[in-house]
Amino acid sequence: MSAASSDALPLLAALANENARRALALAILGQLGPEGVPGLPPRKSATAIERARPFLRPDGDGGFTFDESVVVALMRAGAEARSSESAAIPGFEAHCGQDGRLVSYPAKPGRRGPLLAALADRALGPGRTYTEPEVNEALAAVAEDVVTLRRYLVDAGLLERSVDGGEYRRRVDPAG
């Protein structure tokens, strides 16, 4: 687990708890007053607010508002983590967009090959069989144009496609 994803754990924990989620929603709407979460007993309300607390700031009237700067910091940490992961892939940064996903490919196959191999390693487990929707979902995390990336991976021998096109298998050894 990356540092960025572990930093997001308190937010995920708050979102996973119904009462904390209610507290966050009220804070986002500017309606989390000093009385706490309406409809909850005082103790449960206090617990919900405590779980949501990393994402709240006092509003000056005894209530709370949502602190979006914490979420922005989490987003930055995630972007920095993706950037450092991408830096390990040769040529990736020159071909990625603002969201950190691939938007273009090197024109020369000799430069495209290592990039494709690294992307395949990141997105698809070797030796595993995938349905087409599973491949598309996995590739969407690393590239804007899933169809082109999928075709390049098949053409490079990094991904095998069944005759009917319904299943794909990540090759363990593209030369084999």
Per-residue pLDDT at 36:
92
Distances (CA, A) of 91 to 87, 95, 105, 111, 120: 8, 7, 9, 8, 15
**14 within domain boundaries:** yes
Per-residue pLDDT at 2:
45
Burial of 91 (0-12, 13-18, 19+ CB in 10 A): middle
Per-residue pLDDT at 153:
93
**84 within domain boundaries:** no
Give helix 132-140 / helix 109-123 axis angle, nearest 10°.
Answer: 110
Residues 96 and 159 occupy one common structural domain: yes
Tell me the whole-structure pTM to 2 decimals. Answer: 0.49
The tens-digit pLDDT sequence of the chain (176 residues) is: 444 445 677 777 888 889 999 999 999 999 999 999 999 999 999 999 998 988 899 998 999 998 888 877 877 776 565 555 544 565 667 777 777 787 888 888 888 888 888 888 888 887 788 999 999 988 888 888 899 999 999 999 999 999 998 899 987 764 54
Per-residue pLDDT at 4:
46
Please give the Cα distance from 176 to 166 (Å, whole number): 22
Hey, which bits of 23-170 come out as E strands? Answer: 56-58, 64-66, 129-131, 159-161, 167-170
**83 within domain boundaries:** no
Counted domains in the chain? 2
Residues 27 and 63 occupy one common structural domain: yes
**Residue 103's CATH number:** 1.10.10
The parent domain of residue 125 ranges over 90-170
Q: Rg of the chain over CA atoms, in angstroms?
A: 22
**52 within domain boundaries:** yes
